[in-house]
Amino acid sequence: MKLEQKVQKAMNEQINKELFSSYLYLSMSAWCESEGYPGCAKWLGVQSTEENEHAIKILHFIHERGSRVELEAIEKPKAEFKNLASLFNQVLEHEQKVSASITSLYETAMKGNDYPSQIMLQWFITEQVEEEKNANEIVDLLKKVGDSPVSLMMFDRQLGARTGK
């Protein structure tokens, strides 16, 4: 069964949001790399790849439902950040926005009695809980780390241990 027009539109918008997330985290990763935080750059690079995978997941689902994918332009992400604490605060805020967007998409699918979309989106709801939790932990950790260069170096090394799923 094809997607309802409203759901198709919202899914296409979500693809754009996931691709923007990927682009934003890539930009953050580049900033970290040039500021001497290779571990954070790696963490954000893995995150950027995951966001791209999220977009592709939705794209395939739209096709599975015999509906149309329409890609829009991706907004230019920020390239400068005050410091690591500010950067990861922005990661958290961004993930909170994405969670709200997924919830709204789920509600649209629910109103249209679109059960397959709801089942597919449940994966994203679970994923958002995980992503917000991870970002929250990093923000909390950075509060403890403060400005000490040695602690920041250890923090960077810890984040660099991240591998893809």
Task: Note the residues at the interface with ligand FEO (CB under 6 A).
Answer: 18, 21, 51, 54, 95, 98, 131
For residue 36, the minimal CB distance to ligand FEO (Å) is 25
For residue 45, the minimal CB distance to ligand FEO (Å) is 14
For residue 153, the minimal CB distance to ligand FEO (Å) is 27
Which C-beta is closer to ligand FEO: that of 107 or that of 157? 107
Residue at shortest CB range from ligand FEO: 54
In this structure, the number of other CB atoms found within 10 A of the CB of residue 24 comes to 22
How is residue 18 written in tokens?
């996931």
Which C-beta is closer to ligand FEO: that of 91 or that of 152? 91
Phi/psi of residue 88, nearest 5 degrees: -75, -25
Which C-beta is closer to ligand FEO: that of 48 or that of 152? 48
For residue 98, the minimal CB distance to ligand FEO (Å) is 4
Which C-beta is closer to ligand FEO: that of 52 or that of 118? 52
Contacts of 24 (CB under 8 A, 6+ apart): 77, 78, 94
Residue 16 · residue 71 · CB < 8 Å: yes
Three-state secondary structure call for residue 77: coil
Residue 77 · residue 20 · CB < 8 Å: yes
For residue 148, the minimal CB distance to ligand FEO (Å) is 29
Which C-beta is closer to ligand FEO: that of 12 or that of 21? 21
CA distances from 150 to 28, 64, 83, 155 (A): 22, 51, 15, 9
